[in-house]
Amino acid sequence: MRPASEEELSAAIRAATEPLAVRGGGTRSAPPEGPVIETGALTGIRLYEPGALTLVAGAGTPLSEVETALAREGQRLAFEPMDHRPLLGTKGEPTLGGVAAANVSGPRRIQAGAARDFLLGVRFVDGAGQIVKNGGRVMKNVTGYDLVKLLAGSRGRLGVLTEVALKVLPVPETSATLVLTGLDDQGAVAAMSRALGSPYEVSGAAHLPDRGACCLRIEGFESSVAYRLKALAALFPEAGQEPQTDPEASAALWREIRDAQPLAAAEGDVWRLSVKPSDGPEVARRLGAKAHFYDWGGGLVWAALRAGEDPRPALSGLGGHATLVRAAPGGPARPPALHPEPEPLAALSRGIAAKFDPRGIFAQAEAA
Amino acid sequence: MEMPTPDRSVLSRKEEIVARLRAVLPAEAVIDELSETRAYECDALTAYRCPPLAAVLPASTEEVSAVLKVCHEMGVPVVPRGSGTSLAGGALPTADCVILGVARMNEVLETDYENRFIRLQTGRTNLSVTGAVEAEDFFYAPDPSSQLACAIAGNIAMNSGGAHCLKYGVTTNNLLGVTMVLMDGSVVEIGGAHLDAGGLDLLGVICGSEGQLGVVTEATLRILRNPEGARPVLMGFASNEVAGACVSDIIKAGVLPVAIEFMDRPCIRACEAFAKAGYPDCEALLIVEVEGSEPEIDHQLGLITEIARRHDPVELREARDAEEAGRIWLGRKSAFGAMGQINDYMCLDGTIPVSELPRVLTRIGEMSKDYGLEVANVFHAGDGNMHPLILFNANEPGELEKCEALGADILRLCVEVGGCLTGEHGVGIEKRDLMTAQYDPADLEAQMAVKDVFDPAWLLNPAKVFPLAVSEARRSVPIAAE
Ligand SMILES: Cc1cc2nc3c(=O)[nH]c(=O)nc-3n(C[C@H](O)[C@H](O)[C@H](O)COP(=O)(O)OP(=O)(O)OC[C@H]3O[C@@H](n4cnc5c(N)ncnc54)[C@H](O)[C@@H]3O)c2cc1C
């Protein structure tokens, strides 16, 4: 099914008698079994006001279309959504709704915020076929409950997004990366903490152990980037330093990090663990991963594990959560892809899902 | 503003309820004498008052849990309270409720500069969060004008903003985790020192839920390193339209100021008379502040003043030193006080798309004439959050009602042009009955469904946010007897 309007979508959901799979661009998973609802016809940029930093578009709008429109005005999605295709080897076009529904955020999450922080409003159709809106198109809005956040990252469990409103930001004049070399994991995370705790507005902090590269990104006006890069470098007199001042090369490096490319060729399952940054190295040690790297100043650990291996015991006593992003083909049964919540939180989430989707029409989304 | 009739069965059991509360709290933490409960009869929306049945001041999450268990079992409504600075009546009691104040719970539990967070009890005031970390050159970003008094508890419940949220975001963007007690007394931990939720983003819906989902007792907040410096520039313009166009051009140019504040002529005049900040006598004034090292500030202010010059400013004043910077902010910061000097006022809080600014200001001017009530505008222009101040005389019979009617018309206008009823103060009772102007029944139903899950008996702050007629069926569900 490929509804062309909210009303058609609503009718299709009302008429459904069995669970449906919802598909945006299909870049994050193999085609599901059973009936599928595609959002690909709910497209188009409906409003874009560069002077107000706002964009409203149909949920099925390809991300690339949005990014092209923004680039024309020198703006962008500051939360830097990951492109899953290189890691998963999938095709298709990521959609805006897919990005919002999975709260997909890249390296700049550590400074600018996640997709959920840039989502101003949503329209969606719930499991009963009700058309619901929440939030709006303005940057400050506390009118009623913030269901926008609840929908961001709900992965289709509560409803099918039909329209999203986003806050966008200007693309800075230039960017550069200070690469620190010769640091072990612990040293790198300490360095990233120091950089993120400096006044220089570091907008990316990642460590690639295989390359021995601890990467710190600065963005802004040219004179400002030059100044901050120097000031930042002065914080680390002991470390080896390779400043990357070519904006193109710097951008390419951060695309690789954003898309988890360092693990694209790794064998096994790929997991993403969100932890307290200073716990990152300990988590990686406990995992004993075949390959791993850090983003978010150490707070995001990307790890390639043996197929079927459960990383969650490595979080014991530390907190945080783990998500399975890529399961190697075949192999043994996997632990749940999404992090199981402890009670009574799990009961609250189940309760909310039961309210928004009383018939379990989107129950499949749980596993996706 | 209508409030539900107090539940007689609760009122008649007052003694028993108070006795049970005394059994779980130290004696001095339970207040039930009218002479003392009066201290909790209103928040900063002072036009509405009602002493509660009792007030309790627990000192720990465990005590909060014990109180809620008692109230849950006995079917007593609970209104959580931080510092009582809500402008929306969010902390307004009903005669049959227990006020649960968290003011005693103000400890810092953990500061972690390496991971850039602070964990604290939510009764702590907003300004004292920054106070706890400023020695290390860190700060907590959301800065409501009420920051000296308001508590993090209320900030989380209202998702409060401040002058600097254009760059740093509002409370929800700086909140990492909470400890919250549900109405049945169970304690939940949500989020923490890591980022984002593994499952549904419950933290996101709790922030801004106006004390209706649970009592937040502890919070983990993001702290940031202070910028190297900050400096404002003041710009005066001959019309609101021109000032509005200038705001839009600054944003489009890729400069991201920390704050863009806007004042119109009535506001400028009142502030000038009150604070003598040396503001020019013009139609519209902008204060734009940027951050960074000295050369970075120079560069950004250079770009901003260049843009401003294209709009023929009648005044362009860059702060040369801290003293001048202070004077530029002086008038803006005393705007509310200045208004209070000349009149009673009601402060609105709608948000509009920035592009609608000139049109909305013109319309507000017309409405103000129609109603015969003066309106002064001061607001966060970068994000379209307006604070029209309606001046009236509370001693004049009928003026409050007239003022409320004008306020409602202005908020409906905000919605009409694509904005919303409230940008940072919350709905409370003040905008409760206007919710249907912004939301359809299905939209409100979806929100109330969330409350159904957290608080099935609708005992937590039940008469707020949703129009009484809309929430009626849920609020009147009889509580199952023991
Ligand atoms: C002069 C003045 C200026 C202001 N400026 C701003 C501004 O710039 N920006 C802005 O956003 N606001 C502003 N406000 C409004 C107000 O200060 C904020 O809404 C503030 O967050 C309220 O905090 P509080 O602790 O006083 O909460 P209260 O008034 O005590 O309560 C507010 C709401 O929070 C709920 N609540 C309180 N504690 C808890 C808890 N522990 N758990 C769950 N719910 C709880 C209450 O039930 C109520 O609904 C201003 C107010 C005044 C008087």
Residues B188 and B235 in one domain: no
CA of B86 to the centre of ligand 1 (A): 4
CATH at residue B113: 3.30.465.10
Residues 1-60 of B with CB under 8 A from A: none
Separation between Cα atoms, residue B409 and residue B364, nearest integer Å: 9
Considering only A122-136, A164-178, B336-350, B398-412, which range has the smallest mean pLDDT?
A: B336-350
Cβ contact A138–B351 (<8 Å): yes
Residue B292 included in any domain: yes
Separation between Cα atoms, residue B331 and residue B318, nearest integer Å: 15
Domain that holds residue B463: 433-476
CATH at residue B86: 3.30.43.10
Can you say whether residue A92 is alpha, beta or left, with left for phi > 0 and alpha for psi between -120 and 50 degrees?
A: left
Tokens of B218: 């502890």
- Contact (CB, 8 A) for B406 and B413: no
Residues B322 and B388 in one domain: no
Interface test with B, best of A76, A79, A141 (most B CBs within 10 A): A141
Residue B48 included in any domain: yes
pLDDT of residue A314 exceeding 80, the answer is: yes
Residues B97 and B131 in one domain: no
Average per-residue pLDDT for chain A: 94
The confidence score (pLDDT) of residue B341 equals: 77
B422 touches chain A (CB under 8 A): yes
Which are the contacts of B231, defined by CB distance < 8 A and separation ≥ 6? B289, B290, B297, B301, B318, B319, B325
The confidence score (pLDDT) of residue A27 equals: 72
- Contact (CB, 8 A) for A176 and A225: yes
pLDDT of residue A15 exceeding 50, the answer is: yes
DSSP for A177-236?
A: EEEEES--HHHHHHHHHHHHTSTT---EEEEEGGGTEEEEEEEESHHHHHHHHHHHHTT-
Which are the contacts of A343, defined by CB distance < 8 A and separation ≥ 6? none
Residue B1 included in any domain: no
B124 touches chain A (CB under 8 A): no
Torsion of CA B367, B369, B370, B375, to 10 degrees: 50
A226 touches chain B (CB under 8 A): no
**What is the radius of gyration, based on Cα positions, of chain A?**
21
Q: Which residues of B touch A221 (CB under 8 A)?
A: 296, 299-300
Cβ contact B351–A139 (<8 Å): yes
pLDDT of residue A68 exceeding 80, the answer is: yes
Which are the contacts of B334, defined by CB distance < 8 A and separation ≥ 6? B271, B274, B275, B277
Residue B2 included in any domain: no
Residues B183 and B80 in one domain: no
Single-letter amino acid code for the residue at B77: P
The confidence score (pLDDT) of residue A367 equals: 41
Q: In what order do the strands lie in the sheet with A45-49?
A: A45-49, A54-58, A159-167, A119-126, A131-135
Q: Which is more confidently placed, A114 or B477?
A: A114
What pairs with residue B221 in β-bridges? Answer: B118, B175
CA of A113 to the centre of ligand 1 (A): 24
DSSP for A321-339?
A: EEEEEEPPSS-SPPPPSSP
Q: Which residue of chain B is at minimal alpha-carbon distance from A345?
A: B188
What is the best residue among B146, B175, B334, B455 to mutate for testing ligand 1's pocket, by most ligand atoms within 8 Å of CB?
Answer: B146
A136 touches chain B (CB under 8 A): yes
Tokens of A348: 């609250």
pLDDT averaged per 10 residues, chain B (length 482): 92 97 97 96 94 98 98 98 97 98 98 98 98 98 94 98 92 98 97 94 98 98 97 94 90 89 91 87 94 95 96 92 88 79 88 90 94 92 92 92 96 97 97 97 98 98 97 75 35
Residues B215 and B123 in one domain: yes
Residue B30 included in any domain: yes
Separation between Cα atoms, residue B363 and residue B190, nearest integer Å: 44
Separation between Cα atoms, residue A138 and residue B369, nearest integer Å: 28
Cβ contact A344–B186 (<8 Å): yes
**C-alpha angle with apex B76: B75 to B79, nearest 5 degrees?**
140
Nearest to B225 by CA among B135, B147, B287: B135
CA of A311 to the centre of ligand 1 (A): 41
Residues B253 and B331 in one domain: yes
C-alpha distances in Å from residue B123, one per residue of A164, A175, B28, B139: 35, 41, 18, 18
- Final residue of a structural domain among B199, B225, B251: B225
Cβ contact B384–A139 (<8 Å): yes
Separation between Cα atoms, residue B77 and residue B405, nearest integer Å: 30
A130 touches chain B (CB under 8 A): yes
Residues B117 and B214 in one domain: yes
H or E, element range at A174: strand A174-181
C-alpha distances in Å from residue A276, one per residue of A259, A318, A335, B139: 21, 8, 22, 20
- Contact (CB, 8 A) for B94 and B479: no
Region A306-311: mean pLDDT is 96
Region A10-23: mean pLDDT is 92
- Contact (CB, 8 A) for A116 and B202: no
The confidence score (pLDDT) of residue A32 equals: 67
Torsion of CA A29, A33, A34, A35, to 10 degrees: 30
Instruction: Sort strands B54-56 and B78-81 into parallel, antiparallel or unpaired.
Output: unpaired
Residues B216 and B129 in one domain: yes
Q: Which residue of chain B is at minimal alpha-carbon distance from A112?
A: B168
Residues B176 and B269 in one domain: no
A274 touches chain B (CB under 8 A): yes
- Final residue of a structural domain among B191, B206, B225: B225
Return the DSSP state at B465: S
CA of B56 to the centre of ligand 1 (A): 18
Residue B94 included in any domain: yes
Residues B311 and B348 in one domain: no
- Contact (CB, 8 A) for A9 and A37: yes
- Contact (CB, 8 A) for B113 and B22: no
The beta-carbon neighbor of A172 closest among B138, B208, B254 is B254
B441 touches chain A (CB under 8 A): no
The confidence score (pLDDT) of residue B317 equals: 93
Q: How many domains, in total, are found in chain B?
A: 5
pLDDT of residue A368 exceeding 60, the answer is: no
Residue B137 included in any domain: yes
The confidence score (pLDDT) of residue B365 equals: 92
Separation between Cα atoms, residue A96 and residue B294, nearest integer Å: 39
CA of B162 to the centre of ligand 1 (A): 12
pLDDT of residue A129 exceeding 50, the answer is: yes
Residue B260 included in any domain: yes
Residues B219 and B285 in one domain: no
Tokens of B469: 């007629």
Q: What are the helix (H) ranges across B310-467?
A: 322-333, 335-342, 357-371, 399-416, 435-438, 441-454
Nearest to B1 by CA among B467, B442, B429: B429
A137 touches chain B (CB under 8 A): yes
Residues B210 and B121 in one domain: yes
Cβ contact B200–A153 (<8 Å): yes
Nearest to A212 by CA among A191, A234, A197: A191
CA of B84 to the centre of ligand 1 (A): 6
Separation between Cα atoms, residue B316 and residue A118, nearest integer Å: 33
Q: How confident is the model at residue A28 (pLDDT cuts 50, 70, 90)?
A: low
Nearest to A52 by CA among B162, B164, B305, B381: B381
DSSP for B237-257?
A: ES-HHHHHHHHHHHHHTT---
| Number of C-beta neighbours around residue B189 at 10 A | 14
- Final residue of a structural domain among B186, B210, B225: B225
The beta-carbon neighbor of B188 closest among A137, A320, A345 is A345
Single-letter amino acid code for the residue at A91: K
Separation between Cα atoms, residue A249 and residue A218, nearest integer Å: 13
Cβ contact B225–A197 (<8 Å): yes
Single-letter amino acid code for the residue at A323: T
CATH at residue B381: 3.30.70.2740
What is the best residue among B40, B64, B87, B140 to mutate for testing ligand 1's pocket, by most ligand atoms within 8 Å of CB?
Answer: B87
- Write out residues with Cβ below 6 Å of ligand 1: B 43-44, 79-87, 90-91, 102, 122, 144-146, 150-151, 153-155, 157-158, 160-162, 210-211, 215-216, 336, 424-426, 461
Separation between Cα atoms, residue B406 and residue A252, nearest integer Å: 55
**C-alpha angle with apex A97: A92 to A103, nearest 5 degrees?**
105
Instruction: Sort strands A213-220 and A174-181 into parallel, antiparallel or unpaired.
Output: antiparallel
Which residue CA neighbors atom 7 of ligand 1 most closely?
Answer: B144
Query: How would you class B315 by CB atoms within 10 Å of its CB: exposed for 0-12, middle for 13-18, buried for 19 or more?
Result: middle
Interface test with B, best of A47, A140, A227 (most B CBs within 10 A): A140
Which are the contacts of A361, defined by CB distance < 8 A and separation ≥ 6? A13, A16, A19, A20, A127
Q: Which residues of B touch A353 (CB under 8 A)?
A: 200
